[in-house]
Chain A
Amino acid sequence: MDHFPTNWGRPRNDAFDAYATHPIHQRPYNGPKDTFADGVQRTQQPIVTGTSVLAIKYKDGVMMAADNLASYGSLARFKDVQRLHQVGNYTVIGAGGDMSDFQYIQYILEELSVEEISAQDGHELGPVEIHEYMSQVMYARRSKMNPLWNSLLIAGFKDGKRFLSFVDLLGTTYTASTLATGYGAYIAQPLLRKAVEGREDIITEEEARKILEDSMRVLFYRDARSLNKFQIATISSAGVSISDSMQLDTTWSFAEDIRGYGAQTQ
Protein backbone atom coordinates (compact mmCIF):
# COMPACT_ATOMS: atom_id res chain seq x y z
CA MET A 1 0.00 0.00 0.00
CA ASP A 2 1.30 3.37 -0.95
CA HIS A 3 0.46 5.63 1.98
CA PHE A 4 1.62 8.76 0.22
CA PRO A 5 -1.58 10.39 -1.14
CA THR A 6 0.16 12.50 -3.76
CA ASN A 7 1.34 9.34 -5.45
CA TRP A 8 -2.16 7.91 -5.75
CA GLY A 9 -3.48 7.66 -9.28
CA ARG A 10 -0.15 8.50 -10.83
CA PRO A 11 1.25 6.30 -13.58
CA ARG A 12 3.82 3.84 -12.34
CA ASN A 13 6.98 3.30 -14.28
CA ASP A 14 7.11 -0.49 -14.51
CA ALA A 15 10.49 -0.45 -16.14
CA PHE A 16 11.98 1.26 -13.14
CA ASP A 17 9.88 0.19 -10.16
CA ALA A 18 7.52 -2.61 -11.13
CA TYR A 19 6.40 -3.43 -7.58
CA ALA A 20 6.57 0.06 -6.01
CA THR A 21 9.27 -1.06 -3.65
CA HIS A 22 11.12 2.26 -3.60
CA PRO A 23 11.04 4.18 -0.34
CA ILE A 24 8.29 6.77 -0.59
CA HIS A 25 10.57 9.79 -0.41
CA GLN A 26 12.58 8.46 -3.35
CA ARG A 27 9.59 7.51 -5.48
CA PRO A 28 10.42 8.45 -9.08
CA TYR A 29 8.36 11.20 -10.63
CA ASN A 30 6.78 9.96 -13.85
CA GLY A 31 4.68 12.95 -14.75
CA PRO A 32 5.43 15.54 -17.42
CA LYS A 33 8.86 17.12 -17.16
CA ASP A 34 9.89 20.72 -17.75
CA THR A 35 12.44 20.64 -20.57
CA PHE A 36 14.49 23.32 -18.85
CA ALA A 37 14.24 21.89 -15.33
CA ASP A 38 17.84 20.70 -15.44
CA GLY A 39 18.94 24.19 -16.43
CA VAL A 40 17.55 25.78 -13.27
CA GLN A 41 20.03 25.85 -10.44
CA ARG A 42 19.38 26.84 -6.86
CA THR A 43 21.74 27.57 -4.01
CA GLN A 44 22.21 24.19 -2.29
CA GLN A 45 25.13 25.29 -0.15
CA PRO A 46 27.12 28.43 0.41
CA ILE A 47 30.40 28.66 -1.50
CA VAL A 48 32.39 31.72 -0.45
CA THR A 49 31.42 32.28 3.17
CA GLY A 50 31.79 34.78 5.95
CA THR A 51 31.77 33.63 9.56
CA SER A 52 30.30 35.22 12.71
CA VAL A 53 28.84 38.69 13.13
CA LEU A 54 28.48 40.06 16.67
CA ALA A 55 26.36 42.95 17.87
CA ILE A 56 25.42 44.46 21.22
CA LYS A 57 23.30 47.31 22.50
CA TYR A 58 25.03 49.88 24.69
CA LYS A 59 24.24 53.19 26.34
CA ASP A 60 24.28 55.38 23.23
CA GLY A 61 23.25 52.92 20.54
CA VAL A 62 24.33 49.67 18.95
CA MET A 63 27.75 48.29 18.05
CA MET A 64 28.50 45.52 15.56
CA ALA A 65 31.65 43.60 14.65
CA ALA A 66 32.65 41.22 11.87
CA ASP A 67 36.00 40.10 10.51
CA ASN A 68 37.26 40.69 6.95
CA LEU A 69 37.52 37.08 5.85
CA ALA A 70 35.62 35.34 3.08
CA SER A 71 36.47 31.63 3.13
CA TYR A 72 36.32 29.18 0.24
CA GLY A 73 35.59 26.05 2.18
CA SER A 74 38.46 25.85 4.68
CA LEU A 75 40.69 28.05 2.53
CA ALA A 76 41.05 31.67 3.73
CA ARG A 77 40.34 32.96 0.21
CA PHE A 78 39.64 36.72 0.52
CA LYS A 79 41.08 38.69 3.44
CA ASP A 80 39.78 42.19 2.76
CA VAL A 81 36.06 41.68 2.47
CA GLN A 82 33.78 44.13 4.23
CA ARG A 83 30.89 42.29 5.87
CA LEU A 84 29.34 45.35 7.53
CA HIS A 85 27.30 47.47 5.16
CA GLN A 86 25.60 50.79 5.74
CA VAL A 87 22.06 51.21 4.41
CA GLY A 88 20.54 54.70 4.47
CA ASN A 89 21.53 57.07 7.27
CA TYR A 90 20.57 55.00 10.29
CA THR A 91 21.29 51.34 9.66
CA VAL A 92 24.09 48.81 9.38
CA ILE A 93 23.57 45.30 8.08
CA GLY A 94 26.15 42.62 8.90
CA ALA A 95 26.25 39.28 7.12
CA GLY A 96 27.55 35.80 7.70
CA GLY A 97 27.09 33.02 5.15
CA ASP A 98 27.35 33.24 1.37
CA MET A 99 29.14 36.41 0.32
CA SER A 100 27.74 36.51 -3.22
CA ASP A 101 24.23 36.37 -1.77
CA PHE A 102 25.25 39.20 0.57
CA GLN A 103 26.41 41.26 -2.41
CA TYR A 104 23.02 40.66 -4.00
CA ILE A 105 21.34 41.82 -0.78
CA GLN A 106 23.43 44.99 -0.91
CA TYR A 107 22.19 45.53 -4.46
CA ILE A 108 18.49 45.12 -3.64
CA LEU A 109 18.84 47.41 -0.63
CA GLU A 110 20.56 50.04 -2.81
CA GLU A 111 17.69 49.78 -5.27
CA LEU A 112 15.19 50.13 -2.42
CA SER A 113 17.03 53.15 -0.98
CA VAL A 114 17.08 55.00 -4.30
CA GLU A 115 13.38 54.31 -4.77
CA GLU A 116 12.65 55.74 -1.34
CA ILE A 117 14.89 58.78 -1.85
CA SER A 118 13.35 59.68 -5.19
CA ALA A 119 9.85 59.58 -3.67
CA GLN A 120 10.85 62.77 -1.79
CA ASP A 121 8.00 62.28 0.66
CA GLY A 122 9.95 63.20 3.76
CA HIS A 123 10.19 59.61 4.97
CA GLU A 124 13.50 57.86 5.46
CA LEU A 125 14.23 54.17 5.74
CA GLY A 126 15.16 53.21 9.28
CA PRO A 127 16.43 49.95 10.76
CA VAL A 128 12.91 48.74 11.57
CA GLU A 129 11.80 49.02 7.96
CA ILE A 130 14.98 47.48 6.59
CA HIS A 131 14.71 44.53 8.99
CA GLU A 132 11.07 43.95 8.06
CA TYR A 133 11.90 44.16 4.36
CA MET A 134 14.83 41.74 4.66
CA SER A 135 12.77 39.27 6.70
CA GLN A 136 10.11 39.26 3.96
CA VAL A 137 12.75 38.81 1.24
CA MET A 138 14.49 35.98 3.11
CA TYR A 139 11.24 34.16 3.84
CA ALA A 140 9.98 34.58 0.26
CA ARG A 141 13.22 33.14 -1.08
CA ARG A 142 13.18 30.13 1.25
CA SER A 143 9.57 29.51 0.22
CA LYS A 144 10.73 29.33 -3.40
CA MET A 145 13.22 26.67 -2.27
CA ASN A 146 15.94 29.12 -3.31
CA PRO A 147 17.18 30.80 -0.15
CA LEU A 148 19.68 33.63 0.22
CA TRP A 149 22.23 31.73 2.30
CA ASN A 150 22.92 34.29 4.99
CA SER A 151 22.50 35.10 8.64
CA LEU A 152 21.99 38.83 8.93
CA LEU A 153 22.19 41.20 11.85
CA ILE A 154 20.48 44.53 11.38
CA ALA A 155 21.37 47.32 13.76
CA GLY A 156 20.33 50.92 13.80
CA PHE A 157 19.48 54.06 15.68
CA LYS A 158 16.62 56.31 14.64
CA ASP A 159 14.28 58.73 16.43
CA GLY A 160 16.16 58.16 19.69
CA LYS A 161 15.63 54.40 19.60
CA ARG A 162 18.17 51.58 19.36
CA PHE A 163 17.35 48.63 17.16
CA LEU A 164 19.02 45.27 16.86
CA SER A 165 17.52 42.23 15.15
CA PHE A 166 18.33 39.01 13.33
CA VAL A 167 17.16 37.34 10.10
CA ASP A 168 18.45 34.14 8.54
CA LEU A 169 18.07 32.13 5.36
CA LEU A 170 14.79 30.62 6.58
CA GLY A 171 13.26 33.99 7.32
CA THR A 172 13.50 33.38 11.07
CA THR A 173 13.66 36.61 13.02
CA TYR A 174 14.41 37.44 16.62
CA THR A 175 15.70 40.31 18.65
CA ALA A 176 17.82 40.62 21.79
CA SER A 177 20.27 43.03 23.36
CA THR A 178 23.15 40.81 22.25
CA LEU A 179 23.17 38.86 18.99
CA ALA A 180 25.69 36.67 17.25
CA THR A 181 25.57 34.62 14.04
CA GLY A 182 27.40 31.48 12.96
CA TYR A 183 30.08 30.06 15.22
CA GLY A 184 29.80 33.20 17.33
CA ALA A 185 26.29 32.12 18.36
CA TYR A 186 27.95 29.29 20.31
CA ILE A 187 31.27 30.81 21.38
CA ALA A 188 30.66 34.54 21.73
CA GLN A 189 26.97 34.80 22.61
CA PRO A 190 27.40 33.54 26.22
CA LEU A 191 30.25 36.01 26.75
CA LEU A 192 28.22 38.85 25.29
CA ARG A 193 25.18 37.98 27.40
CA LYS A 194 27.26 37.87 30.57
CA ALA A 195 28.79 41.25 29.78
CA VAL A 196 25.73 43.08 28.50
CA GLU A 197 22.41 41.74 29.74
CA GLY A 198 20.83 44.08 32.26
CA ARG A 199 23.54 46.68 31.65
CA GLU A 200 22.42 47.93 28.22
CA ASP A 201 21.88 51.47 29.52
CA ILE A 202 25.13 51.59 31.49
CA ILE A 203 27.75 50.33 29.05
CA THR A 204 29.82 53.14 27.56
CA GLU A 205 31.16 53.21 24.03
CA GLU A 206 34.68 52.26 25.22
CA GLU A 207 33.29 49.39 27.29
CA ALA A 208 31.17 48.14 24.40
CA ARG A 209 34.17 48.22 22.11
CA LYS A 210 36.19 46.22 24.68
CA ILE A 211 33.44 43.61 25.00
CA LEU A 212 33.34 43.12 21.23
CA GLU A 213 37.12 43.07 20.89
CA ASP A 214 37.42 40.44 23.62
CA SER A 215 34.76 38.29 21.95
CA MET A 216 36.42 38.69 18.56
CA ARG A 217 39.72 37.56 20.12
CA VAL A 218 38.09 34.44 21.58
CA LEU A 219 36.49 33.73 18.20
CA PHE A 220 39.84 34.11 16.47
CA TYR A 221 41.34 31.60 18.89
CA ARG A 222 38.50 29.08 18.51
CA ASP A 223 36.96 29.57 15.05
CA ALA A 224 39.13 28.08 12.30
CA ARG A 225 37.25 30.14 9.67
CA SER A 226 38.00 33.49 11.30
CA LEU A 227 40.64 36.17 10.77
CA ASN A 228 42.55 38.49 13.08
CA LYS A 229 41.41 41.49 11.06
CA PHE A 230 37.98 42.99 11.64
CA GLN A 231 35.82 46.09 11.66
CA ILE A 232 33.47 47.61 14.19
CA ALA A 233 30.39 49.64 13.29
CA THR A 234 28.89 52.06 15.78
CA ILE A 235 25.38 53.35 15.28
CA SER A 236 24.20 56.10 17.62
CA SER A 237 22.51 59.48 17.59
CA ALA A 238 25.65 60.74 15.84
CA GLY A 239 24.87 58.46 12.89
CA VAL A 240 26.66 55.48 11.44
CA SER A 241 30.41 54.95 11.44
CA ILE A 242 32.19 51.83 10.25
CA SER A 243 35.79 51.69 11.41
CA ASP A 244 38.83 50.85 9.32
CA SER A 245 40.08 47.29 9.63
CA MET A 246 41.99 46.61 12.84
CA GLN A 247 43.97 43.82 14.43
CA LEU A 248 44.06 42.36 17.93
CA ASP A 249 47.00 41.29 20.05
CA THR A 250 47.00 37.56 20.49
CA THR A 251 49.20 35.18 22.46
CA TRP A 252 49.99 31.70 21.25
CA SER A 253 52.79 30.71 23.62
CA PHE A 254 50.41 28.45 25.57
CA ALA A 255 50.17 26.23 22.49
CA GLU A 256 53.43 24.46 23.13
CA ASP A 257 52.22 23.31 26.57
CA ILE A 258 49.14 21.62 25.20
CA ARG A 259 49.34 17.85 25.56
CA GLY A 260 47.04 15.05 24.51
CA TYR A 261 46.54 15.79 20.83
CA GLY A 262 48.42 17.44 17.99
CA ALA A 263 51.93 16.94 16.71
CA GLN A 264 53.98 16.78 19.90
CA THR A 265 56.23 13.77 20.27
CA GLN A 266 55.84 13.16 24.00
Chain B
Amino acid sequence: MTSIGTGYDLSASTYSPDGRIFQVEYANKAVENSGTAIGLRVKDGVVLAVEKLVHSKLLVPGANRRIQTIDRHIGMASAGLLADGRKISQLAREEGSKIRKMWREPLTVKALSDRISLGAQAYTLYSSVRPFGVSTIFGGVDKSGPSLYIVEPSGVCLGYHGAAVGKGRQLAKTELEKLKLSELSMREAVMEAARIIYLVHDDNKEKEFELEMTWVGDESNDLHLPVPDDLLEEAKSRAKAALETFE
Protein backbone atom coordinates (compact mmCIF):
# COMPACT_ATOMS: atom_id res chain seq x y z
CA MET B 1 0.00 0.00 0.00
CA THR B 2 1.35 3.36 -1.05
CA SER B 3 0.04 5.06 2.05
CA ILE B 4 2.35 3.20 4.39
CA GLY B 5 5.33 5.16 5.59
CA THR B 6 4.07 8.48 4.33
CA GLY B 7 2.75 9.47 7.74
CA TYR B 8 -0.63 10.51 6.36
CA ASP B 9 -2.27 7.38 7.76
CA LEU B 10 -1.37 7.93 11.39
CA SER B 11 -4.50 9.81 12.33
CA ALA B 12 -8.09 10.06 11.21
CA SER B 13 -7.72 13.83 11.48
CA THR B 14 -5.13 14.02 8.67
CA TYR B 15 -5.84 14.15 4.94
CA SER B 16 -3.36 12.75 2.45
CA PRO B 17 -2.27 15.30 -0.22
CA ASP B 18 -4.71 13.73 -2.71
CA GLY B 19 -7.62 14.22 -0.31
CA ARG B 20 -8.07 10.79 1.24
CA ILE B 21 -8.35 9.77 4.87
CA PHE B 22 -6.40 6.57 5.18
CA GLN B 23 -7.76 5.59 8.60
CA VAL B 24 -11.24 5.43 7.05
CA GLU B 25 -9.92 3.28 4.23
CA TYR B 26 -8.30 0.95 6.74
CA ALA B 27 -11.62 0.70 8.53
CA ASN B 28 -13.13 -0.39 5.22
CA LYS B 29 -10.45 -3.09 5.02
CA ALA B 30 -11.67 -4.41 8.35
CA VAL B 31 -15.15 -4.63 6.85
CA GLU B 32 -13.87 -6.42 3.75
CA ASN B 33 -12.27 -9.15 5.88
CA SER B 34 -15.58 -10.08 7.44
CA GLY B 35 -18.23 -12.52 6.24
CA THR B 36 -20.86 -11.07 3.92
CA ALA B 37 -24.03 -9.45 5.25
CA ILE B 38 -26.95 -8.66 2.97
CA GLY B 39 -30.34 -7.00 3.26
CA LEU B 40 -33.31 -7.21 0.90
CA ARG B 41 -36.06 -4.62 0.93
CA VAL B 42 -39.06 -6.25 -0.71
CA LYS B 43 -42.78 -5.61 -1.21
CA ASP B 44 -44.00 -6.34 2.31
CA GLY B 45 -40.88 -6.29 4.47
CA VAL B 46 -37.15 -6.60 4.89
CA VAL B 47 -34.93 -9.70 5.12
CA LEU B 48 -31.44 -9.61 6.66
CA ALA B 49 -28.92 -12.42 6.16
CA VAL B 50 -25.35 -12.91 7.33
CA GLU B 51 -22.61 -15.34 6.40
CA LYS B 52 -21.17 -15.79 9.87
CA LEU B 53 -17.72 -17.33 9.57
CA VAL B 54 -17.05 -19.82 12.35
CA HIS B 55 -13.38 -19.59 13.21
CA SER B 56 -13.33 -22.40 15.74
CA LYS B 57 -15.13 -25.70 16.11
CA LEU B 58 -15.12 -25.10 19.86
CA LEU B 59 -17.70 -22.32 19.56
CA VAL B 60 -21.27 -23.04 20.58
CA PRO B 61 -23.57 -22.98 17.53
CA GLY B 62 -25.35 -19.64 17.33
CA ALA B 63 -22.67 -17.81 19.34
CA ASN B 64 -21.45 -14.31 18.38
CA ARG B 65 -24.58 -13.21 16.58
CA ARG B 66 -24.07 -10.53 13.95
CA ILE B 67 -27.74 -9.67 13.49
CA GLN B 68 -29.23 -7.80 16.42
CA THR B 69 -32.59 -6.40 17.39
CA ILE B 70 -32.69 -2.62 17.90
CA ASP B 71 -36.40 -2.17 18.52
CA ARG B 72 -39.52 -4.30 18.00
CA HIS B 73 -39.57 -3.35 14.33
CA ILE B 74 -35.90 -2.71 13.50
CA GLY B 75 -33.00 -5.11 13.00
CA MET B 76 -29.34 -4.56 12.28
CA ALA B 77 -26.72 -6.68 10.51
CA SER B 78 -23.06 -5.73 10.73
CA ALA B 79 -19.92 -6.66 8.84
CA GLY B 80 -16.51 -5.90 10.27
CA LEU B 81 -15.26 -5.86 13.84
CA LEU B 82 -17.84 -7.69 15.93
CA ALA B 83 -17.27 -5.57 19.04
CA ASP B 84 -17.68 -2.34 17.04
CA GLY B 85 -20.98 -3.73 15.77
CA ARG B 86 -22.11 -4.26 19.34
CA LYS B 87 -21.27 -0.65 20.20
CA ILE B 88 -23.32 0.49 17.20
CA SER B 89 -26.28 -1.62 18.36
CA GLN B 90 -25.98 -0.16 21.85
CA LEU B 91 -26.07 3.39 20.42
CA ALA B 92 -28.99 2.46 18.19
CA ARG B 93 -31.05 1.10 21.10
CA GLU B 94 -30.34 4.22 23.13
CA GLU B 95 -31.57 6.28 20.18
CA GLY B 96 -34.78 4.24 20.08
CA SER B 97 -35.28 4.85 23.78
CA LYS B 98 -34.67 8.60 23.43
CA ILE B 99 -37.13 8.96 20.56
CA ARG B 100 -39.76 6.98 22.49
CA LYS B 101 -39.26 9.16 25.55
CA MET B 102 -39.40 12.44 23.65
CA TRP B 103 -42.12 11.69 21.09
CA ARG B 104 -43.89 8.62 22.53
CA GLU B 105 -43.65 6.93 19.16
CA PRO B 106 -41.41 4.28 17.60
CA LEU B 107 -38.17 5.18 15.88
CA THR B 108 -38.00 5.23 12.06
CA VAL B 109 -35.21 3.39 10.30
CA LYS B 110 -34.22 6.55 8.42
CA ALA B 111 -33.96 8.67 11.59
CA LEU B 112 -31.96 5.90 13.26
CA SER B 113 -29.43 5.40 10.48
CA ASP B 114 -29.05 9.17 10.03
CA ARG B 115 -28.27 9.54 13.73
CA ILE B 116 -25.83 6.62 13.78
CA SER B 117 -24.10 7.97 10.66
CA LEU B 118 -23.49 11.31 12.40
CA GLY B 119 -21.72 9.43 15.20
CA ALA B 120 -19.68 7.41 12.70
CA GLN B 121 -18.71 10.58 10.85
CA ALA B 122 -17.56 12.26 14.07
CA TYR B 123 -15.11 9.38 14.52
CA THR B 124 -13.39 10.38 11.25
CA LEU B 125 -12.49 13.85 12.59
CA TYR B 126 -10.21 13.35 15.58
CA SER B 127 -6.78 11.89 16.18
CA SER B 128 -7.91 10.52 19.53
CA VAL B 129 -10.40 8.03 18.07
CA ARG B 130 -10.46 5.48 15.30
CA PRO B 131 -13.37 5.15 12.85
CA PHE B 132 -15.83 2.30 13.40
CA GLY B 133 -14.59 -0.87 11.74
CA VAL B 134 -18.07 -1.89 10.64
CA SER B 135 -20.52 -1.33 7.86
CA THR B 136 -23.98 -1.67 9.30
CA ILE B 137 -27.21 -2.58 7.54
CA PHE B 138 -30.33 -1.26 9.28
CA GLY B 139 -33.59 -2.82 8.17
CA GLY B 140 -37.10 -2.42 9.44
CA VAL B 141 -40.71 -1.53 8.86
CA ASP B 142 -41.97 1.81 10.11
CA LYS B 143 -44.69 4.34 9.25
CA SER B 144 -43.14 4.86 5.81
CA GLY B 145 -43.10 1.11 5.05
CA PRO B 146 -40.10 -1.20 4.67
CA SER B 147 -36.73 0.60 4.83
CA LEU B 148 -33.15 -0.48 4.38
CA TYR B 149 -30.05 1.65 5.02
CA ILE B 150 -26.29 1.15 5.22
CA VAL B 151 -24.01 3.18 7.47
CA GLU B 152 -20.34 2.97 6.46
CA PRO B 153 -17.19 3.75 8.50
CA SER B 154 -16.88 7.08 6.64
CA GLY B 155 -20.25 8.15 8.02
CA VAL B 156 -22.00 7.82 4.69
CA CYS B 157 -25.63 6.72 5.08
CA LEU B 158 -27.64 5.62 2.06
CA GLY B 159 -30.94 3.84 1.49
CA TYR B 160 -31.12 0.72 -0.68
CA HIS B 161 -33.47 -1.82 -2.19
CA GLY B 162 -30.75 -4.44 -1.84
CA ALA B 163 -27.71 -4.03 0.38
CA ALA B 164 -24.49 -6.01 0.63
CA VAL B 165 -21.40 -5.47 2.79
CA GLY B 166 -18.37 -7.57 3.69
CA LYS B 167 -16.12 -9.95 1.82
CA GLY B 168 -18.52 -11.15 -0.88
CA ARG B 169 -20.37 -7.89 -1.47
CA GLN B 170 -19.42 -7.54 -5.17
CA LEU B 171 -20.89 -10.89 -6.19
CA ALA B 172 -23.82 -10.39 -3.81
CA LYS B 173 -24.60 -7.00 -5.39
CA THR B 174 -24.63 -8.43 -8.93
CA GLU B 175 -26.97 -11.19 -7.73
CA LEU B 176 -29.21 -8.67 -5.96
CA GLU B 177 -29.38 -6.55 -9.10
CA LYS B 178 -30.84 -9.50 -11.02
CA LEU B 179 -33.83 -9.65 -8.66
CA LYS B 180 -37.02 -7.62 -8.94
CA LEU B 181 -36.84 -6.73 -5.26
CA SER B 182 -39.94 -4.55 -5.12
CA GLU B 183 -42.07 -7.42 -6.46
CA LEU B 184 -40.69 -10.18 -4.23
CA SER B 185 -42.58 -11.54 -1.24
CA MET B 186 -40.76 -11.96 2.07
CA ARG B 187 -40.74 -15.75 1.70
CA GLU B 188 -39.20 -15.49 -1.77
CA ALA B 189 -36.68 -13.01 -0.39
CA VAL B 190 -35.65 -15.51 2.30
CA MET B 191 -34.93 -18.10 -0.42
CA GLU B 192 -32.94 -15.59 -2.49
CA ALA B 193 -31.01 -14.30 0.52
CA ALA B 194 -29.98 -17.82 1.52
CA ARG B 195 -28.99 -18.60 -2.06
CA ILE B 196 -26.84 -15.47 -2.30
CA ILE B 197 -25.08 -16.13 1.02
CA TYR B 198 -24.29 -19.72 0.00
CA LEU B 199 -23.14 -18.47 -3.40
CA VAL B 200 -20.73 -15.82 -2.15
CA HIS B 201 -19.23 -18.13 0.47
CA ASP B 202 -15.75 -19.15 -0.62
CA ASP B 203 -15.27 -22.83 0.28
CA ASN B 204 -11.57 -22.76 -0.50
CA LYS B 205 -10.66 -20.07 1.98
CA GLU B 206 -13.08 -20.62 4.87
CA LYS B 207 -14.63 -23.95 5.60
CA GLU B 208 -17.31 -23.33 8.14
CA PHE B 209 -20.05 -20.74 8.26
CA GLU B 210 -23.46 -20.33 9.82
CA LEU B 211 -26.33 -18.68 7.98
CA GLU B 212 -28.04 -16.12 10.21
CA MET B 213 -31.31 -14.78 8.91
CA THR B 214 -34.02 -12.51 10.29
CA TRP B 215 -37.02 -10.67 8.88
CA VAL B 216 -39.39 -7.80 9.59
CA GLY B 217 -42.70 -7.31 7.83
CA ASP B 218 -46.13 -8.80 7.15
CA GLU B 219 -44.91 -12.37 7.75
CA SER B 220 -43.58 -11.48 11.20
CA ASN B 221 -46.38 -9.11 12.17
CA ASP B 222 -43.95 -6.17 11.73
CA LEU B 223 -41.62 -7.55 14.41
CA HIS B 224 -37.92 -8.17 13.88
CA LEU B 225 -37.66 -11.92 14.41
CA PRO B 226 -35.43 -14.79 13.34
CA VAL B 227 -36.75 -16.56 10.23
CA PRO B 228 -38.63 -19.67 11.50
CA ASP B 229 -36.49 -22.83 11.67
CA ASP B 230 -38.46 -24.82 9.08
CA LEU B 231 -38.30 -22.00 6.53
CA LEU B 232 -34.59 -21.48 7.24
CA GLU B 233 -33.89 -25.18 6.68
CA GLU B 234 -35.88 -25.13 3.44
CA ALA B 235 -33.97 -22.04 2.27
CA LYS B 236 -30.66 -23.70 3.12
CA SER B 237 -31.39 -26.90 1.22
CA ARG B 238 -32.69 -24.94 -1.78
CA ALA B 239 -29.58 -22.74 -1.67
CA LYS B 240 -27.33 -25.81 -1.69
CA ALA B 241 -29.29 -27.28 -4.62
CA ALA B 242 -29.06 -24.00 -6.53
CA LEU B 243 -25.32 -23.96 -5.95
CA GLU B 244 -24.94 -27.32 -7.75
CA THR B 245 -26.67 -26.03 -10.88
CA PHE B 246 -24.91 -22.65 -10.77
CA GLU B 247 -21.45 -24.09 -11.15
| B71 A120 Cβ-Cβ under 8 A | no
Chain A interface category by residue count:
under 10
Q: Please tell me if A118 contacts chain B, counting CB pairs below 8 Å.
A: yes
Tell whether, in the assembled complex, residue A111 and residue B100 are in contact, meaning their CB atoms are under 8 Å apart. Answer: yes
Pick from B65, B72, B100, B101: contact of A117, CB below 8 A: B72
Q: Is A78 in the interface zone, CB < 8 Å from B?
A: no
Contact present for B100 and A110 (CB under 8 Å): yes
Q: Which of A110, A111, A118 contacts B69 (CB under 8 A)?
A: A118
CA distance A117 to B71 in the complex (A): 8
Q: Does A107 contact B (CB under 8 A)?
A: yes
A114: Cβ under 8 A from any B Cβ = yes
In-complex Cβ contact of B104 among A107, A113, A115, A120 (8 A):
A107
Q: What is the minimal beta-carbon distance from B38 to any residue of chain A, in angstroms?
A: 20
- Count B-side interface residues using an 8 Å CB cutoff: 12
* Closest beta carbon of chain B to A90's beta carbon, Å: 15
Q: Which residues of B contact A115 (CB under 8 A)?
A: 93
**Closest CB in chain A relative to B184 CB, distance in Å:** 26
A118 touches B100 (CB 8 A): no
For A107, A118, A120, the residue with the greatest tally of chain B CB atoms inside 10 Å of its CB is A118
- Chain B residue numbers with a CB within 8 Å of A117 are 69, 72
Q: Does B162 contact A (CB under 8 A)?
A: no
CB distance from A86 to the nearest CB of B (A): 13
Minimum distance in angstroms from B121 CB to a CB of chain A? 25
- Contact of A118 with B104 in the complex, beta carbons under 8 Å: no
A120–B68 CA distance with the chains assembled, in angstroms: 8
In the docked arrangement, what's the CA distance between A231 and B90, Å?
39
- Convert B102-130 into 0s and 1s, putting 1 for each residue whose CB lies closer than 8 angstroms to a CB of A: 00100000000000000000000000000
Task: Give A52 Cβ to nearest chain B Cβ, in Å.
Answer: 27
- Residues of the A chain whose Cβ atoms lie less than 8 Å from the Cβ of B97: 111, 114
In the complex, how many angstroms separate the beta carbon of B87 from the nearest chain A beta carbon?
A: 14
* Residues of B14-73 whose CB lies within 8 A of A: 65, 68-72
Q: CB-CB < 8 A to A110: which residues of B?
A: 100
Beyond A107-B101, A110-B100, A111-B97, 17 extra complex contacts between A and B, CB < 8 Å: A107-B100, A107-B104, A111-B100, A111-B101, A113-B72, A114-B72, A114-B96, A114-B100, A115-B93, A117-B69, A117-B72, A118-B68, A118-B71, A118-B93, A120-B65, A120-B68, A120-B69
Q: Please list 5 pairs of residues, one from A and one from B, whose beta carbons are closer than 8 Å in the complex, sorted by A's number.
A: A111-B100, A111-B101, A117-B72, A118-B70, A118-B93
